[in-house]
Structure 1
């Protein structure tokens, strides 16, 4: 049981830590100290749900119906392009973290909806948690497989809460407009790069 749990933490953590759309969003909200707890909790809960579904065998169903993957890919790419464009536009507006914190448009509803979009419309979420982790979990028997999933879920909670609340340590740097401008452009590049990676197989093929 212990070995399966540790493997779940290691593999799950290695997949989550990679720079992606979700992590970039959580980082920015954490720096702004904007709804850090609900965003971290929501991201962790989504991961936990997907990991559990993958370990339970949902990954095999998704692989059997490619249409699900195609719809998620195009929808996710469109959302990432839209979000990245907004980040690029924001990078040309001089601002510091004080102005960001005072932004009345940054409502709880907007934060929750954006978190849901960044997470659920990204096909990598399903490929990494449901398909990949689900496939890896099949090497364990029925007794140890849940422990593998539990390890991956714990890694997700540790990562998102650490990233969300740890990001505030960077807040003093982001009192300077230039630092915020570079972060917005980093987010823009991240979002568009992921969108391009999603669309490329369809264009090249």
Structure 2
């Protein structure tokens, strides 16, 4: 049960976090510029870990007390993921603009951190994804299972941000082509659709 929960948390978080949004775009942009990459990656991973813990434990307790809420949230989560899939699919049809519009200037560490905090904690999608959706997924597990789910999710988040932050320098030539964004967003759309179907 614990191993299953860990893998579930890891895979679900990985599929959700791969969606190219404002936070991921900013991290990728910082990596491409090789500017404050370590604090950016660390702050993203820590923020996700905190939000995931809040979702797994807080939301899990609420759903145990109100099991009917879990059913409604499961359908809401499936619809949300479907919308995510449609958005990624739409982006795949018109790629090439992401790096131009992502993030602020980010020349100093202070401005970089403030921009990233705003992109992370002021983004309602972060709460829907990490607190509500992943919290709902973890709620059926017992205590140790939920701890394993949260650990798997936090690991997936840390690995993802490390990969796009520090790996971006090798991706610069690749992502100069709009076709690369089309492929990435197409894969993202397929993953989101598969997860929505699984939840429904």
Does TM-score exceed 0.5, indicating one fold?
yes
Q: Summarize deviations over 1:152-182 as a string: whole Å, max 9, x none.
A: 11000000001100101134578xxxx59x8
The TM-score with structure 2 as length reference comes to 0.64
Conserved in 1, the CA contact under 8 Å of 2:10 and 2:156?
Answer: yes
Q: Aligned equivalents of 2:171 and 2:43: distance in 1?
A: 22
Q: Summarize deviations over 1:88-140 as a string: whole Å, max 9, x none.
A: 9x959xxxxxxxxxx8x600000100110111111010000001111111110
Give the equivalent residue in structure 2 for 1:118: 119
Aligned CA-pair RMSD? 2.8
Cα drift, residue 43 of structure 1: 0.4
The TM-score with structure 1 as length reference comes to 0.62
Give the equivalent residue in structure 2 for 1:108: 109
Helix, strand or coil: the match of 1:57? helix
Give the equivalent residue in structure 2 for 1:151: 152
Q: How does 1:76-115 map to 2 (within 5 A)?
A: 106-115=107-116
Q: Aligned equivalents of 1:139 and 1:91: distance in 2?
A: 42
Q: Aligned equivalents of 2:150 and 2:100: distance in 1?
A: 39
Helix, strand or coil: the match of 1:106? coil
Q: Aligned equivalents of 1:25 and 1:148: distance in 2?
A: 27
Give the equivalent residue in structure 2 for 1:163: 164
Conserved in 2, the CA contact under 8 Å of 1:36 and 1:164?
Answer: yes
Q: Aligned equivalents of 1:140 and 1:91: distance in 2?
A: 42
Distance 1:173 1:154, change over 3 A: closer
Q: How does 1:10-159 map to 2 (within 5 A)?
A: 10-58=11-59, 60=62, 106-159=107-160
Q: How does 1:165-204 map to 2 (within 5 A)?
A: 165-171=166-172, 179=176
Conserved in 2, the CA contact under 8 Å of 1:32 and 1:171?
Answer: no
> What are structure 2's unaligned runs of at least 5 residues?
64-68, 70-96, 182-200
Cα drift, residue 144 of structure 1: 1.2
Query: How many residue pairs end up in the alignment?
Result: 142
